[in-house]
Amino acid sequence: EQVYRDGVSGRRPRVPTTAGELERRGRRAMSRRADAYVTGGAGAEATVRANRAAFERWQTVPRVLRDVGARDLSAELFGRRLEHPLLLAPIGALDLVRRGADVAVARGAAAAGVPMIVSNQAGTAMEALAGIGRRWFQLYWSTSDELVDSLLARAEASGCEAVVVTLDTTMLGWRPRDLDLGHLPFSRGLGIAQYTSDPVFARLAQERARAPRSGPAPRVTPAAVRTLLDISRNHPGPVLENLRSPVPRAAVETFLDVYSRPHLGWDDVATLRSRTALPIVLKGVLHPDDARRAADAGVDAVLVSNHGGRQVDHAVAALDALPGVVAATDLPVLLDSGVRTGADVAVALALGARAVCLGRPFVWGLALAGADGVAQVVSDVLAELDLTVGLAGATSAADLEVTRRY
């Protein structure tokens, strides 16, 4: 309504409403490196395309003459109500797109009334986002258990409502767009603020610098470690503001040592329950058997996701995996990967998702108009969702009828 009212006085939305146009203009607003990083998928990007193709195959079957005057799309998760069945997916290294990106995303999400999942690879320490809307924290399981515990404790202390453990990135995927540019944001010190603001990480970096080496001369100088310690003690704020240039090698190199644990297994997940009081969501579940094991491990929800097609090329589309996972478990099931519109959200809800995470589209909004752009993209998705559900003759997601076209 607001858009049409503004249109009467000649105002057009700053951020395109058409999904394809949002993507085109958002991508154009970024540097080449940022675009490669955000757009890129694994391999030949078959899974990026499959995520969209899966949405195209599902159709709602609208019903008529069912009083849809009052609609309720709120969702309950972990005993708390979400006003809308939508969250912002965790997306790391967004300073590549825009300086101060994480604060802008947090503000945009708060303005639109949806929680933000703060990435383990954010460019801003989670403490600096405390107080800006509702937040969850996403964890990459480090090689250091002590660091994992420290991150979990900080998530609790800074008011995050849940922890999302991403399981599909024990190693970084094969991403040709980044490879062709020889560019990885993290190796330039982008997206490592959760580490540089962490006391355990600072100690690990110090130990690394002191450890005797048999090979070539130490790559981490004591001076760099002192800088790092100083940063982590005094400045929990945005990493770019604090690190200045050049980024201390100690931070980057220690990060590369600790950030992922390829030998992670179900035994590790089983220990999580005793390590945090927060509800636990496992992200990256695609197989029904893994959903069953997740329930056995005592977690609180699973997030069906293929990381936006960025990890395993030819992996099954998230939406295609959703019905099998929903059938396999009583846990709440969330979904991301390929969601572009409110009507997409409606289909995912109809197939049993409790809530949906929006990924790349909010980054395009961020690139175009900062916090306002994020808020605009989210509000558009929510408005379309509400209209789609009502016009399909439903008052809640559970009433929606869908059918698959083969």
Catalytic residues: 307
142 binding ligand FNR? (CB under 6 A): no
308 binding ligand FNR? (CB under 6 A): yes
With CB under 6 A, what is the number of residues at the site for ligand FNR?
23
- Binding ligand FNR by CB under 6 A: which of 138, 144, 194, 232? 138
336 binding ligand FNR? (CB under 6 A): yes
Catalogue the E-assigned strands of 86-141. 86-88, 116-118, 135-139
Q: Which amino acid is at 217?
A: A
- Binding ligand FNR by CB under 6 A: which of 38, 231, 317, 355? 38
- Binding ligand FNR by CB under 6 A: which of 15, 54, 87, 91? 91
98 binding ligand FNR? (CB under 6 A): no
Q: Quote the CA–CA distance of 219 and 279 in Å, as a whole number.
A: 40
Q: Quote the CA–CA distance of 134 and 111 in Å, as a whole number.
A: 11
37 binding ligand FNR? (CB under 6 A): yes
Q: Quote the CA–CA distance of 85 and 355 in Å, as a whole number.
A: 4
Question: Taking contact as CB under 6 A, which single stretch among the options 116-124, 286-294, 367-375, 380-388 is the one that binds ligand FNR?
Answer: 116-124
Smallest distance, Å, CB 120 to ligand FNR?
Answer: 6
90 binding ligand FNR? (CB under 6 A): yes
166 binding ligand FNR? (CB under 6 A): yes
Smallest distance, Å, CB 90 to ligand FNR?
Answer: 4
Q: Quote the CA–CA distance of 305 and 291 in Å, as a whole number.
A: 12
Comparing CB distances to ligand FNR, the nearer of 229 and 280 is 280
Site string for ligand FNR, 238-277 (x = CB under 6 A): ----------------------------------------
Burial track 46-56 (b if 16+ CB lie within 10 A, e otherwise)? bbbebbbebbe
Question: Taking contact as CB under 6 A, which single stretch among the options 217-225, 246-254, 289-297, 331-339 is the one that binds ligand FNR?
Answer: 331-339
Smallest distance, Å, CB 68 to ligand FNR?
Answer: 28
Question: What is the DSSP secondary-structure string of 211-262?
Answer: S--SSSSPSS-HHHHHHHHHHHHH--S-HHHHH-SSPPHHHHHHHHHHS--T
Q: Quote the CA–CA distance of 81 and 354 in Å, as a whole number.
A: 11
Q: Which residue has the tokens 């008052």?
A: 395
The 3-state DSSP class for residue 92 equals coil
Comparing CB distances to ligand FNR, the nearer of 293 and 307 is 307
- Paired with 131 in beta bridges are none
| Residue 402: other Cβ atoms inside 10 A | 15
Q: Quote the CA–CA distance of 21 and 368 in Å, as a whole number.
A: 12
341 binding ligand FNR? (CB under 6 A): no
Binding residues for ligand FNR, rule: CB under 6 A, are 37-38, 51, 89-92, 119-121, 138, 166, 283, 305, 307-308, 310, 336-339, 359-360
